[in-house]
Amino acid sequence: MLIRILTTIASIITIGFGVWHFFVPKAWQWVTYIDSKATELILAVQAINIFFSLSLVVLGLANIVLLWSSKSNRFSILVILSVSVILWVTRSILQIAYPQGSINPILQYGMLSAFLVVTGCYILAFILTLVQKSA
């Protein structure tokens, strides 16, 4: 049950970051940082953001569906958890090495804290799934 709780918490936060990221470019006015004549670049940044946002939402949903489904097996859960661990460990490392939100320390360290919580939940769920005995 702890595995389900940890994964559900981390997945809800992952979905939240994905949904939030759909609105980030407009909220932070990303387009103003790009030359208005570089229309292809603007479209590329928008496409990457949509893909990234949607990927977070889908990954979070996939974690929840696989973990709560009676049809999934231990291997499928380990695979989706390993993908989530790799993604969030990478994001946490990047936030430490190249912090975003450095204009405001609360934002910078708030993001880092959230990333580390999600990372920790996924890592612990992965380890617990890995060491649990098969039914």
Q: What is the pLDDT of residues 91-125, one digit of tens each?
A: 999 999 999 988 889 999 999 999 999 999 999 99
- pLDDT tens digits, residue range 52-92? 999 999 999 999 999 999 999 999 999 999 999 999 999 99
Q: For the packed helices 105-131 and 74-97, what is the interaxial angle rounded to 10 degrees?
A: 150
Could you give the C-alpha distances from 119 to 57, 69, 103, 132, in angstroms and in order?
A: 16, 22, 24, 20
**Averaged pLDDT of the chain:** 95
pLDDT score for 82: 98
For residue 135, pLDDT over 60 is answered with no
Domain ranges of the chain: 2-131
pLDDT band at 134 (very low <50, low <70, confident <90, very high): low
Query: CA 96, CA 80: separation in Å to the nearest integer?
Result: 25
Query: CA 23, CA 53: separation in Å to the nearest integer?
Result: 9
Tokens representing 76? 């499928």
What is the three-class DSSP state of 133?
Answer: coil
